[in-house]
Structure 1
Amino acid sequence: MNGTEIHVEVASALHLFVPQARRAGATALATDGVSTLGHVVESLGVPLTEVGTLLVDGREVPASHIPKAGERIAVRPVARPQQVPGAPLRFLLDVHLGTLARRLRLLGVDTAYESTDIGDPALAARSAAERRVMLSRDRGLLRRRELWAGAFVYSTRPDDQLSDVLDRFAPDLRPWTRCTACNGTLRQATKEEVADQLKGGTQRSYDVFAQCTACGRAYWKGAHHEQLEAIVERALTRFGGGT
């Protein structure tokens, strides 16, 4: 360190990432005079995926800015709804977010999901290759430079996770159009086409079916449909979307 001291204020929405001692107003921070502001922010524990605007003495600067002695830095959260330029909005979720993945698919949102732990490098590579927003609670994963884009999932509760993602990204909602098992698209199907997947009671009680064009799984309005319908209705009421 060469004694370069700056003052950093992290917005309250990002306080969960920083130590308690750095949450009260602007705090002094010694830097080496060569590290970028992005590196400094990450050293505090804040993933750059969660940073919207960086202000230096009131003016906006990029993460590549090299802080100078005496500068006052303000770290602001991502503005909502967040725009992800350059690709259709679609997501990739890690192994810990299976329920969120199924609920996003229920709402018709293009959502890839890894049901096994393939490791951070492979997840980041898939995010980049398929241009998907990586959703995770793993801060280390979200710091990987090869990510196409990423976002921290703030809650551990699926209801809150879903609301947070819908609020942050405002995806177009098309409920009942994707397979919750594999993310494939659904089509209408006859009872005869899916008969091999139906038990006796279902065979007698239901006449309307859909089938995944990718994995072949059959869908109908079974015992859990009311619970799923409630999730869909809450999402449409709060966040809108196509049907």
Structure 2
Amino acid sequence: MNASGIHVEVAPELRLFLPSGRREGLAEVAVDGVSTLGHLVESLGVPLTEVGALVADGREVPRSYLPAPGEPVRVRPVVRPQRVPGAPLRFLLDVHLGTLARRLRLLGVDAAYESTDIGDPALATRSATEQRVLLSRDRGLLRRRELWAGAYVYSTRPEDQLRDILDRFAPELRPWTRCTACNGPLHPATKDQVADRLESGTRRTYDVFAACGECGRAYWKGAHHEQLEAIVAEAMGGRAPEYPGSPG
């Protein structure tokens, strides 16, 4: 190893972020006495949102630590379930994660979602202003300093994305209580209260409804209910609780 560098070992869970030539998890990184350990880890391609403990020469150190030449460093992943201090657990999802956002809302998880690309600065600012954990597959977005908190979404498959986020953060699940369209609260509604939002066939066939308190969308046990119930049942460990009204 170069006398002015450090030896960095990256945990297996984080090696996908490394350049292809470093996927074995080992890297030699030059130090200058000014750059923090957190900055040096990011320079390898690993978002700090994914980093748990940093261990230098056998002891845990903060991200602001200035490593000395020759020190061995280990980069560990976040401990699961990950706790986010200081605010109720809420999420913000970028434009590419619409299906994940709807499935989190189906489970009653507070999940704000931008359906249009408002730009990285605006997303990061909203994360900080509303104290929401930003979920994204954009590594550059997760490196923005103004972020309140963030997490990389590892899979491109919505079902795997949902399992990963539930495993990582263990949010409280309250299925059938949020509007999948706008994230607003659902409440029971009579057929008369939502009649103007129903097709004639729906009015004849269904009797149990819910409505969103913000956008007014009506919900009932429609054609897709079994599919949605299966998603809820898996998240809840095998049984979907029954609520008055479910997305139709």
Give the structure-2-normalised TM-score: 0.94
1:55-70 residue pairs with structure 2 within 5 A?
A: 55-70=55-70
1:124 aligned partner: 124
- Between the aligned partners of 1:241 and 1:44, the Cα distance in structure 2 is 45
Mapped pair 1:75 → 2:78: no
Distance 1:198 1:27 in 2: 61
SS at structure 1 position matched to 2:175: coil
- What value does the CA root-mean-square deviation take over the aligned residues? 1.8
Could you report, residue by residue, the CA deviation over 1:83-142 in whole angstroms, capped at 9, with x for unpaired residues? 000000000000000000000000000000000000000000000000000000000110
* CA shift for structure 1 position 20: 2.8
Q: Is the 8 A contact 1:10 1:23 kept in 2?
A: no
Q: Show CA shifts across 1:139-184 (max 9, x none).
A: 0110011111000000000000000000000000000000000000
Paired with 1:232 and 1:115, the residues of 2 have a C-alpha distance of 23
SS in 2 for 1:231: helix
**Alpha-carbon distance, 1:57 to partner:** 1.0
SS in 1 for 2:41: helix
2: distance between equivalents of 1:163 and 1:171?
12
- Asked if 1 retains the 8 angstrom alpha-carbon contact of 2:125 and 2:146, the reply is yes
TM-score between both structures, scaled by the size of structure 1: 0.96
Question: Residues 12 and 25 of structure 2 are in contact (CA less than 8 Å); yes or no, is this contact kept in structure 1?
Answer: no
Moved more, 29-38 or 111-120: 29-38
For 1:98, the equivalent position in structure 2 comes to: 98
Amino acid paired to 2:120: D
CA deviation profile, 1:35-56 (whole Å, cap 9, x unmatched)? 0000000000000000000000
Q: Which residue of 2 aligns with 1:142?
A: 142
Q: What residue is the counterpart of 1:154 in the other structure?
A: 154
Alignment check: 8 A CA contact 1:100 1:161 kept? yes
Q: Which residue is 2:204 aligned to?
A: 204
Q: Tell me the matched-pair count.
A: 242
Give unpaired runs (5+ residues) of structure 1. Answer: none
Q: Decide whether the 8 Å contact of 1:172 with 1:241 is kept in 2.
A: no
CA distance in structure 1 between the aligned counterparts of 2:19 and 2:163, rounded to whole angstroms: 27
In structure 2, C-alpha distance between the alignment counterparts of 1:37 and 1:242, rounded to whole Å: 50
Q: Distance in 2 between matches of 1:213 and 1:156?
A: 32
Letter in 1 for 2:9: E
Please say if residues 133 and 150 of structure 1, whose CA atoms lie closer than 8 Å, have aligned partners that are also in contact: yes
Percent identity of the aligned residues? 74
Indicate how the Cα distance of structure 1 residues 83 and 223 shifts in structure 2: closer, same or farther if over 3 A, else same: same
State how far apart, in whole Å, the 2-side matches of 1:242 and 1:235 are. 14
Distance apart, 1:241 and its partner CA: 10
In the alignment, what sits opposite 1:40?
40
Distance in 2 between the 1:76 and 1:238 partners?
32
Equivalent position of 2:167 in the other structure: 167
- Separation in 2, partners of 1:26, 1:111: 37
Give, as a single letter, the amino acid of the residue that structure 2 aligns with 1:236.
M
- 2:180 matched residue in structure 1: 180
Q: Give the CA deviation at 1:34.
A: 1.2
Change (3 A) 1:24 1:139: same
Q: Which runs of 4+ in 1 moved over 6 A?
A: 238-243
CA offset at residue 24 of structure 1? 2.4
Distance change >3 Å, CA 12–CA 115, structure 1 → 2: same
Task: Indicate the SS of the match to 2:70.
Answer: coil
- Measured in 2, the distance between the counterparts of 1:28 and 1:13 equals 19
Separation (CA, whole Å) in 1 of partners of 2:98 and 2:238: 22
Unaligned runs of 5+ in 2: 244-248
Q: Distance in 1 between matches of 2:101 and 2:59?
A: 38
- The answer for the alignment partner of 2:220 in structure 1 is 220
